[in-house]
């Protein structure tokens, strides 16, 4: 039965919270170790649904996977000849499953990866993944819902010029290039901190990569890579979530084990919203004061403002002292949750890529439903400043990216409860259908 998170507001958050490793890094780190036979270990692994899905995917590829939740470590034993099919049920549950494509083609010279299909936050094409691997000599066809790639003679180096700095395409091509013959260049590469983290893991495995953190990656193929032990970079999106939670509630949250240098523009914007931000070596403190000032934000590839924090900006502007404008440049269909926010009394006017938000003094609690990870977390956080009870459904989305979200909120003083949704007769009817 699907759970609901029930928040009773208004409330002000106060206290400390620890941030684990980045979801958007760890999933790819787990895929990258497929490039070498043997036992690799990844630490600082968050205990979230998506990690369990990736563990299952690797098991189906023939790997031994031990997930030590206590130690936040995953040990992966990669066989000499892994299987090379990523099944539809897993790719459908988690789109990041497609990050096994590059490693599998490079290592096994073939891969069959189910196409992810529709997604709640936009079309999210795979054209750059596909054309990039084709440029490296792979033959690719779509067959019965699978992207089938073959490179019988092995991959060859290529010069990629990405038309947009896609995170997923940069990662897949970078991983594939580590074992390709010759020197591969990726121009207009994405440079999110998670990509640098993956590059560092690859270098520790024996890969030759220059330009890490820059828009041009140069990768010299090597014959084989070795297993590795690697610590995952902190999750800047989770850290940013807590920062917005502090700002929206006018609270004070000490966010530990995070890297403030990965949130440059985000923390600047929070200061513009009226917060005090204290940057430290291993984290930062965000303190709000009363209602925030509105902020204007345009999402962009890193180091621009991350699209994954956009829903929190909308939530902040919803209770700000004026009008704020938010422009979404990365995912065109990421506005779905604004209709849910409107159920809490937010005033949001959409026009294409733009949302104009008119701040109101107080939201009012209501039942709402999340349709993606960040929208879910943003609705819960909006519930913190809504009067009365906000019931958030679609909690499974939140579980995909946040460990113990409701427990961490409680530790910061929020009145939050997580309940099984057994009382809902419609949910029961859906299950019986």
Listing DSSP states for 62-90 in one string gives T-EEEEETTTTEEEEEE-SS---EE-HHH
The alpha carbon of 234 is separated from its chain's Cα centroid by a whole number of angstroms, namely 12
Q: Which stretch binds ligand UD1 (CB under 6 A): 12-20, 121-129, 355-363, 411-419?
A: 121-129
Establish whether 23 is an annotated binding residue: yes
Whose Cβ is closer to ligand UD1: residue 39's or residue 124's? 124
Sheet holding 208-210, edge to edge: 159-161, 183-187, 216-220, 208-210
* Gap between the Cα atoms of 178 and 103, Å rounded: 9
Active site residue 119: yes
Rounded CA-CA distance 289/277 in Å is 12
Measured CA distances, 229 to 35, 43, 74, 80, 238 (Å): 14, 8, 10, 19, 24
* Cis, bond preceding 10 (omega within 30 deg of 0): yes
The single residue listed with the structure tokens 């958050």 is 13
Site string for ligand UD1, 40-59 (x = CB under 6 A): --------------------
Q: Which of residues 173-232 bind ligand UD1 (CB under 6 A)?
A: 190
* Interactions with ligand UD1, residue window 300-319 (CB under 6 A): 306-308
Tell me: does residue 416 bind ligand UD1 (CB under 6 A): no
Residue 24 assigned to a binding site: yes
Nearer CB in complex with ligand UD1: 120/222? 120
Q: Determine if 331 is a binding residue for ligand UD1 (CB under 6 A).
A: yes
DSSP state, 117? -
Contact 7, 380 (CB under 8 A): yes
Residue 431 phi/psi, 5° resolution? Answer: -70, -35
Identify which of residues 241 and 307 has a Cβ nearer to ligand UD1 in the complex. Answer: 307
Q: Which is nearer to ligand UD1, 123 or 276 (CB)?
A: 123
- CA torsion 71-51-210-37 (nearest 10°) is 80
DSSP bridge pairs for 73: 68
95 annotated ligand binder: yes
Residue 92 interacts with ligand UD1 (CB under 6 A): yes or no: no
Q: Which of 39, 60, 92, 124 binds ligand UD1 (CB under 6 A)?
A: 124
Regarding 126 and contact with ligand UD1 (CB under 6 A), the answer is yes
Q: Any binding-site annotation on 330?
A: yes
Applying CB under 6 A, does 168 fall inside the site for ligand UD1? Answer: yes
Binding site residue list: 23-24, 95, 308, 330
Q: Which residues bind ligand UD1 (CB under 6 A)?
A: 24, 27, 96, 122-129, 164, 166-169, 190, 306-308, 330-331
Binding site residue list for UDP-N-acetyl-alpha-D-glucosamine: 95, 308, 330
């Amino acid at each position: 039965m699907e759970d609901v998170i029930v928040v009773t507001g208004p409330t002000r958050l106060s206290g400390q919270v620890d941030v684990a490793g980045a979801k958007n890094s760890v999933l790819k780190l787990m895929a990258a170790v497929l490039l070498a036979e043997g036992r690799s270990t990844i630490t600082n692994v968050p205990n979230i649904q998506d990690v369990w899905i990736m563990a299952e995917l690797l098991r189906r590829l023939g790997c031994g996977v031990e997930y030590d939740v206590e130690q936040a470590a995953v040990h992966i034993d990669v066989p000499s000849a892994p299987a090379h099919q990523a099944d539809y049920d897993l790719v459908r549950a988690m789109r990041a499953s497609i990050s096994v494509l590059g490693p599998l083609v490079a290592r096994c010279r073939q891969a069959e990866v189910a196409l992810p299909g529709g997604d709640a936050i936009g079309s999210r094409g795979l054209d750059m993944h596909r054309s990039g691997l084709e440029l490296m000599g792979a033959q690719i066809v779509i067959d019965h819902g699978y992207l089938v790639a073959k490179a019988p003679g092995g991959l060859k180096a290529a010069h990629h010029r990405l038309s947009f700095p896609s995170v997923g395409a940069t990662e897949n091509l970078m991983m594939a290039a580590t074992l390709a013959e010759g020197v591969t260049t990726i121009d207009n590469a994405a440079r999110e901190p998670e990509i640098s983290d993956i590059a560092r893991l690859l270098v520790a495995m024996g890969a030759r990569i220059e330009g890490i953190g820059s828009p041009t990656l140069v990768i010299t193929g090597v014959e084989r890579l070795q297993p590795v032990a690697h610590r995952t970079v902190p999750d800047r999106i989770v850290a940013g979530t807590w920062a917005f939670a502090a700002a929206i509630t006018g609270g004070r949250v000490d966010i530990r084990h995070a890297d403030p240098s990965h949130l440059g523009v985000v923390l600047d914007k929070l200061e513009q919203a009226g917060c005090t931000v204290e940057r430290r070596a291993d984290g930062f403190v965000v303190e709000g004061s009363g209602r925030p000032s509105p902020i204007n934000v345009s999402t962009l590839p890193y180091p621009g403002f991350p699209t994954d924090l956009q829903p929190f900006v909308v939530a902040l502007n919803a209770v700000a002292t004026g009008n704020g404008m938010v422009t979404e440049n990365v995912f065109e269909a990421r506005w779905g949750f604004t209709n849910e926010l409107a159920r809490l009394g937010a005033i949001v006017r959409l026009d294409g890529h733009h949302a104009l938000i008119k701040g109101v003094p107080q939201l009012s609690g209501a039942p709402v439903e999340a349709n993606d990870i960040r929208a879910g977390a943003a609705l819960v956080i909006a519930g913190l400043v809504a009067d009365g009870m906000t019931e958030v459904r679609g909690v499974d989305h939140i579980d995909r990216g946040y460990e113990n979200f409701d427990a961490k909120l409680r530790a910061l003083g929020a009145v939050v409860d997580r309940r099984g949704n057994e009382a809902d007769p419609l949910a029961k009817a859906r299950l019986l259908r």
